[in-house]
Amino acid sequence: MNKFSLTFIQKCLEQKYQGHRYLSTIPACKVINLMCFTICMIRSIFCVIVQDYINVFIFAPLGLLVFIVHFVVMFYKKQWIDFYLVGINHLLMCYQVYTEADFKPQEAFVFGQNMMVMHTIIILVSDFKFAVIQVINNAIIKLAIAKYFQPDISIQAFIYCFILTLMIVIPLQRTNKQYRESFLYTTQNNSLDWIIPKIIENPFAIFVYDKENVGFQVKLSNFNSFNQFESTNSNLQNLNFILRNYKLNGKTLETFVLNRRKNSDNITVNQEHEIINSKNYSDRIYIKYSEVQLTEQTFIIILDQKQQSYIKMEHKIQRLETGINLFLNQLKAFLIKQLLMLNKSTAQDLSYIYQNKVNLMYILTKLSVQPNLFVHQCKVVPKIQNFIKLFNKAYNKRVHFQFDKQHLQILTYKNVFEELLTILMTFIFRTQESSQAKLILRGSYYQNEQFLDLLIKYDQSYQLFQQLQQNIHFRSNLKQIGPYDRVLMENNGIC
């Protein structure tokens, strides 16, 4: 809104305001037209009686002009109404010229009072910028006419006139600003009343208690937009159905809300409740209950369908998770038993037995859904040697292991290093064909911290690199042991 002209910046909003203002301006304009037409006709008749034909030719056309313009403005050009009011008011200002010389003091005072009332009515029903123009011109024209017919008018009259003109502009500005702000507030509320039910995904009702009708009155609701309510019922009927058929803490929801009226000082905001259908205990609804103290105590109930869906989904997920964990535990126990049986086997084809063993070990790494948080120290060199020996027996292939120090230990979670080695050895032995792989364990230092690097060298390094990079479980275990979750290529080798 422009702070000087009080015009809305948005043209569509300004047009809506002018259309709203016409509802009160047009009736007032009709009364003003009738008064002006009546004055012109009475003045014309009086001039005919006294044979003042000059004034007859002035006031009779003016009356006819008012009559014609009235129909043009009222029925065809309503947007001209402010210009029309400005013209009428300026004509009334000029009427001061026809002040009778033989007016008695009290009669002149009453005449001035009547003219003041006419000017005020027209100014009040005009838009602000047109009203300011009329107030300023009224002072100028009246003083000019008075100075012309009475040259000895005191300077004091001029000062009072301009001071009063400035004083009346202030309440005019405040009043018109309040009118516009009230219109803007009403427009926003009407827009919200239309928008809110459409954008809120959950059913809700905003209602108050009507003492005269002894019942609730719905201010805003979208119950009719949801299939769970009868579309033929009104929002009030759907609200009463919920209040009277669902219970909270053993009492109907209606009783709960009525009791809250006695505690209007203790406001409640977004209080979550579970209400139960009194006829079907399996029918439960989660609601959010709020109270707002505006001009009267206002109640808000939101049926939280999302929360209800989340709780049902959470129960399903919990049951599914329990079933999956039970299955994995039973499968893991089965595979462990198979490993124990293979360890006790005395079959002649030992490589086949060892292959089954390493395959089961690899499958067990895929079934590790929950990490074991038990931390222990692991001897690196013996552990790698045992895995190489086991896989050599399974695949009858040689992998050379080279290291600088025998007694190297790392602190890690239980089974993490074993699973890491299982995946690594599986990929190495499955990938290499006739060439021999070489593992080099070496130490490195970074910011005064010691790390161990395991360098893998053989012909198919790039293929192994891709397999390790794509294995999420391998990279997850690698991240728990070392600073990175990825492997590196180095001089035709993997580190």
Q: Residue 457 domain-assigned?
A: yes
Are 230 and 130 part of one and the same domain?
Answer: no
- Rounded-to-10 torsion of CA 77, 83, 84, 86: 170
Residues in CB range of 224: below 8 A, 6 or more apart? 231, 233, 234, 235, 238
Q: Residue 351 domain-assigned?
A: yes
Alpha-carbon span 216 to 489, nearest angstrom = 75
pLDDT tens for residues 112-137? 787 788 888 888 888 888 888 888 88
Q: Residue 395 domain-assigned?
A: yes
Are 189 and 205 part of one and the same domain?
Answer: no
Alpha-carbon span 186 to 192, nearest angstrom = 10
| In contact, 291 and 297? CB cutoff 8 Å | yes
Q: 10 Å Cβ neighbour count for 207?
A: 22
pLDDT of residue 317: 86
b/e code 120-129 from CB counts within 10 Å (16+ = b): ebbbebbbbe
pLDDT of residue 316: 84
Structure tokens at 26: 């047009």
Q: Residue 479 domain-assigned?
A: yes
Please tell me the number of Cα atoms within 13 Å of 200 on its side-chain side. 22
Q: What is the mean pLDDT of the chain?
A: 77
pLDDT tens for residues 215-246? 888 887 877 777 777 777 788 888 888 888 88
Are 177 and 255 part of one and the same domain?
Answer: no
pLDDT of residue 90: 81
Helix (H, G, I), strand (E, B) or coil at 289: strand
Residue-number span of the structural domain to which 33 is assigned: 11-193
What's the whole-model pTM score?
Answer: 0.45
Are 351 and 416 part of one and the same domain?
Answer: yes
pLDDT of residue 452: 74
The pair phi, psi for residue 103, each rounded to 5°, is: -60, 135
Give the relative orientation of helices 305-343 and 350-366 as an angle to the nearest 10 degrees.
Answer: 160
Give the mean pLDDT of 365-385. 74
Average the pLDDT over each of 34-38, 135-139, 190-194, 371-375 and give the range with the smallest value.
190-194
Are 209 and 167 part of one and the same domain?
Answer: no
**Last residue of a domain, which of 162, 193, 224?**
193
| In contact, 248 and 271? CB cutoff 8 Å | no
Average the pLDDT over each of 39-48, 173-182, 260-269, 327-336 and give the range with the smallest value.
260-269
Alpha-carbon span 126 to 116, nearest angstrom = 15
Q: Residue 166 domain-assigned?
A: yes
Q: 10 Å Cβ neighbour count for 387?
A: 20
Are 349 and 272 part of one and the same domain?
Answer: no
Residues in CB range of 419: below 8 A, 6 or more apart? 364, 365, 368, 473, 477
Are 237 and 355 part of one and the same domain?
Answer: no
pLDDT of residue 188: 64
Q: Residue 74 domain-assigned?
A: yes
Q: Which of 193, 182, 191 is nearest to 1 (CA)?
A: 182
Q: Which of 412, 413, 328, 388 is nearest to 364 (CA)?
A: 328
Are 248 and 150 part of one and the same domain?
Answer: no
pLDDT of residue 345: 61
pLDDT of residue 38: 83
| In contact, 414 and 374? CB cutoff 8 Å | yes
Instruction: Please say whether the dihedral angle defined by the alpha carbons of residues 418, 421, 427 and 432, taken in this order, is positive or negative.
Output: negative
| In contact, 21 and 28? CB cutoff 8 Å | no
Alpha-carbon span 196 to 113, nearest angstrom = 52
pLDDT of residue 432: 57
- Split at pLDDT 50, 70, 90, the class of 279 is confident
**Last residue of a domain, which of 303, 331, 363?**
303
Are 170 and 207 part of one and the same domain?
Answer: no
Q: What is the CATH classification number for the domain harbouring 364?
A: 3.30.565.10
Q: Residue 1 domain-assigned?
A: no
- Split at pLDDT 50, 70, 90, the class of 155 is confident
pLDDT of residue 492: 60
Q: At residue 350, does pLDDT exceed 80?
A: no
pLDDT of residue 26: 77
Are 179 and 205 part of one and the same domain?
Answer: no
Alpha-carbon span 442 to 451, nearest angstrom = 9
Q: Residue 206 domain-assigned?
A: yes
pLDDT tens for residues 283-308? 788 888 888 776 678 888 888 777 77
Q: What is the CATH classification number for the domain harbouring 241?
A: 3.30.450
pLDDT tens for residues 422-473? 888 888 887 656 556 777 777 654 555 567 777 787 677 777 788 888 888 7
Are 24 and 128 part of one and the same domain?
Answer: yes
Type of residue found at 335: L
| In contact, 346 and 378? CB cutoff 8 Å | no
Q: H or E stretch including 467?
A: helix 461-470
| Burial of 198 per CB tally in 10 Å (0-12, 13-18, 19+) | exposed
Report the share of the chain in percent with pLDDT over 70. Answer: 84
**Last residue of a domain, which of 141, 164, 193?**
193
Are 146 and 72 part of one and the same domain?
Answer: yes
Number of structural domains (the chain) is 3
The listed range with the strongest mean pLDDT (31-35, 67-71, 274-278) is 274-278
- Split at pLDDT 50, 70, 90, the class of 388 is confident
